[in-house]
Every structure is written in C-alpha cells, then in structure tokens.
Amino acid sequence: MPTLIMITGGLIGAIFGVLLGTGMAAFAGLPLYGPVTTVFAALIGTGILPGIIPVVVHPIGMLFGAGLGLLALTIFVYAVAAIASIVGSALTEMFARGMHIGLSAGANLVILAAIPWLPPGFGPTVFLILMIACIPVVAANRFYQRVIGALGWVLPMNYLMLPLGVLLFLIAAPFALAAGGIAAIRWDWLTWTVETNGGFILTTFGTGGSAFNIGNFTFIVTTPATFTFTSGLSAHETGHTLNNSAFGGFFYWIGAVDENIAPLARGPAANSEMLANDHFGGVGGPTITMWT
C-alpha cells in the first residue's frame, strides 16, 4: 500500500511537472527534440497551452511565470507533506513525497528535451530513473543512490542551487586546504558529493550550525576529527544531496526556509531535514524513512 500511494503521487506529480515544464518551453519558444516531441505537440494542440500566448507575451516573462507556477505547486505539496508529518498521517506524507518526485522528474524531462545535442533517449531515461525513487526499496538501494547522486551534477532542476555550491566551493576550498591540508576536501563516491571541511571562510561566515549542503557540495564548518561518509554530519548532509536529485531545487530552497526562517524555523523537524537524516542514520533525531 505505501509503495502504491507513492507511485500514484509520483504519476500525478509527473503530469503536472510535464505540463508546467511544457508551458515553460512552449511559452519561451524553446525547441523540443526527441521522441517526446509528439507528446508536447499534443498537449499544445489541446488548447491547454494556447498558441497565441507566445505571440503576445514576452517569452522570458512567460518562462518566469511558468516557473512560478511550478514553485507555487511545490510549496503547496511541501505544506501538505509537512502538515501530514505533524499530525502523523504517514500515507498522506508519502503521497505528497511521491508528487515532489514526479514534479521534479517531469520538469527535468521537458528541459532535457529542449537540449538538441543530448541523445533522444537521455531525457526519458533520466525521467524513469528519478521516478523509481517512488519505490521505497529502490530509494534505499546504495547503488541507486550512487546513480541519482551522479545525476545531480546534470539535472536541470538542480541548477537552481548547484551553481551557488560551485561558487562557494571555489571561495572556501583554498582556505580549507591551507588550514587542513588535502584531507580538508573529500569526495564521496556513495553520493558523488564534494565535502569541504573547515578553513577561514567556513568557520567565520558559516551558517551558525556545524554543516550545510548546497547541491552536490557539503560544507563542514569545523574540521572533523573522525567523520565518515556513513555516519554523523557527513551522512546527513549527503542525504541532502540525494534529496536534491530526487525532489529538485525548489524543494531544496523551500526546505531551507522551513528549517531556518521564522515563523517556521522548525530546525531538525523540517521535512527536508528529516528525509536527509534518514541517510545512514544521519545525526540522530527525527527521520522520515527514505534513504535506508
């Protein structure tokens, strides 16, 4: 039953993700390639995505508007999941979680279909790989986690935060290396995450916590003595890497608000935090079963 509920939520989310993603592409005048072209053409032909709008509205404005639609729906689904967690409705939370996966997978599919130099089957393959995260036994599989961790480097929805991770890494890495040597930067093959430990930038301008994650980058504010990628802070933060790939960049930023910004500021009780904390047991405390 839980698996069926997540898959159902994922399929519904995928429909909305494809519709909103198609709207973004069509309204912005982006070309679409590959076998999914006929699907997009059919959607546009139904009148759901009126052909006259690109003529009378600036394409960039429509792209922005369609993105806001996807963001608004993601906020709504996140709110449903958060309320479900608070009241103890596990099945509702799983349905909403499936919708998050479907929304991100559908939007990624459409955006990848607008890149002409990609193989025609790349977008649909990525879509299917992301969608099977709706199956709990698959999401908990360590090989599968390596796959979606690697995909995090190329998923379009991840680029809502990944460039910021790259920028901070380029700024922080020299200081971390100066303070801790080569051991201050580590690569996690389990999730394809770069971890940076300590250094003047992180210890001085850190978040006030002990660690944070942006895209496929983890930043440990103070140099760890015995951390491993399968326990403690490292495991928790690489759990966010998996969240990012499965749920997308909008989920990442909404989760950051839920965790840190009043009137929410729910800290470890934020849904995004509880999901990440399930990765190898994280740092203890509340979890939502996803990555184990």
154-212 pLDDT, tens per residue? 999 999 999 999 999 999 999 999 988 998 999 999 999 999 998 888 888 776 678 99
Q: What one-character DSSP code corresponds to residue 135?
A: S
Which residues of the chain fall below pLDDT 70?
23-66, 207-208, 225-226
pTM, to two decimals: 0.87
CA distances from 128 to 31, 117, 122 (A): 22, 20, 10
DSSP string for residues in 36-93: THHHHHHHHHTTSS-TTHHHHS-HHHHHHHHHHHHHHHHHHHHHHHHHHHHHT-HHHH
Write out the H or E segment, with its range, that includes residue 205.
helix 200-205
Return the pLDDT at 56. Answer: 42
Domain spans of the chain, in order of start: 2-139, 162-281
pLDDT, residue 62, reads 53
Task: Output the pLDDT for position 136.
Answer: 95
List Cβ neighbours of 152 (8 Å cut-off, separation of 6 or more).
158, 162, 192, 215, 216, 241, 244, 245
Answer whether 221's CB lies under 8 Å from 210's CB: yes
Amino acid letter, residue 25? A
Residue 52, pLDDT score? 43
Instruction: List b or e across 233-268, with b for residues whose CB sees 16 or more CB atoms inside 10 angstroms.
Output: bbbbbbbbbbbbbbbbbbbbbbbbbbbbeeeeebeb
The single residue listed with the structure tokens 């729910």 is 266
